[in-house]
Amino acid sequence: MANASLKNCVALVTGGSRGVGKGVAIGLAEAGATVIVTARTRAGGDSEWPGSLDETVKAIDAAGGTGAGLLCDHSDDNSVQTVFERIQREYGRLDVLVNNVFAAPSVMPVNVPFWQTPMSLWDTMQRVGLRSHLVASRLAVPLMLPQGRGLIVNTSSGGGIRYTFNVAFGVQKAGVDRMARDMAHELRRYGIAAVSIWPGYIKSEKLAAQPDRVPPALAKLIAERGETPQFAGRAVAALAADPAVMEKTGEILLASELALEYGFTDIDGKIPPPPSRDPAPLSVFTPITSN
């Protein structure tokens, strides 16, 4: 299964200019897929963060896939509609949708009580990262129905079950997980699987570029237990190639657990330890004691 082919697979990864999205795109490309990625950043230097569509497309091609980058603002339904119209026109199908796009503030509030965080934090994360996943999924399903098979993956994290950063973040992750579960219920009869996948502690471009924005205790976890974004990509590729993927529909899946099942590793040849499913907050997110 580690060398499964996705040569005839057409996949869309939202938010693919950097981080997990880029890693997923590369992981699918390693299996030979045609990978379309969306983002708001076309070229390097257009954003405060490293990464761009052009760089991801080059990485997809270098990994053995066929890449295409489409500019898209996932807070704008018309922009998303245009992406899917183009996929219909140029490819005529869609086999895999990876809902990964996410919007966050430049500095994520950590342990800040919800009554002290701006409503804009909630609005931004629920619109781009939750609502945006539903919009993309609604448009993707009609492109999957003719094949009688498809896979929708929501990227998420342990923040869906335990306090992480702040209330808005946790609700967004819990919503993503629940969305996959409920979509799976409605899609099962059509042969389309929907799952939520949790990568572990990601060694991202953002962390490398501005480590001072990451709480020291969390940075320590990443250094000790971290994984590359490409590891999550290999997990998605393994799911996409599995003819029995419907057995997993509706589940929350951990990339490290999938590695043990399917036989793939991170780029260093190792399998990182899985994140905990324990709902207790990590030590970095200490109880709030201030008034």
**CATH number where 210 lies:** 3.40.50.720
Residue 179 has pLDDT above 80, yes or no: yes
Q: Is 211 domain-assigned?
A: yes
Q: Higher pLDDT residue, 105 or 46?
A: 105
Mean pLDDT rounded to a whole number for the chain: 92
Q: Quote the pLDDT of residue 1.
A: 47
Average pLDDT over residues 229-253: 98
Q: Which of 104, 138, 249 is nearest to 191 (CA)?
A: 249
Provide, rounded to the nearest whole percent, the portion of the chain with pLDDT above 90.
77
- pLDDT at 3 > cutoff 80: no
Q: How confident is the model at residue 289 (pLDDT cuts 50, 70, 90)?
A: low
For the chain, how many structural domains are there in total?
1
Q: Residue 50 sits in which domain range? A: 10-262
In a domain, 160, yes or no: yes
- Asked if pLDDT for residue 91 goes beyond 60, the answer is yes
Please name the residues in contact with 129: beta carbons below 8 A apart, sequence gap of 6 or more: 101, 102, 103, 172, 176
Task: Confirm whether 47 is domain-assigned.
Answer: yes
pLDDT at 291: 46
Asked whether residue 177 is domain-assigned, the answer is yes
148 burial (CB, 10 Å; 0-12 / 13-18 / 19+) is exposed
What is the model's pLDDT at position 224?
78
Provide the pLDDT confidence category of residue 275 given band limits of 50, 70 and 90: confident
Write the pLDDT tens digit of every residue in 144-174: 999 999 999 999 999 999 999 999 999 999 9
The pLDDT of residue 27: 98
CA dihedral sign of residues 225, 227, 232, 237: negative
Query: How many whole angstroms separate alpha carbon 278 and alpha carbon 181?
Result: 19
Position 277 in a domain: no
Q: Find the mean pLDDT for residues 192-210.
A: 82
C-alpha 64/C-alpha 204 separation (Å) is 22
The answer to whether position 279 is within a domain reads no
Closest to 50 (Cα-Cα) out of 211, 197, 166: 211
Domain membership of residue 271 (yes or no) is no
Under the banding of pLDDT at 50, 70 and 90, the label for residue 47 is low
Looking at residue 103, its pLDDT comes to: 93
Looking at per-residue pLDDT, the higher value among 233 and 213 belongs to 233
Task: Let me know if residue 191 belongs to a domain.
Answer: yes
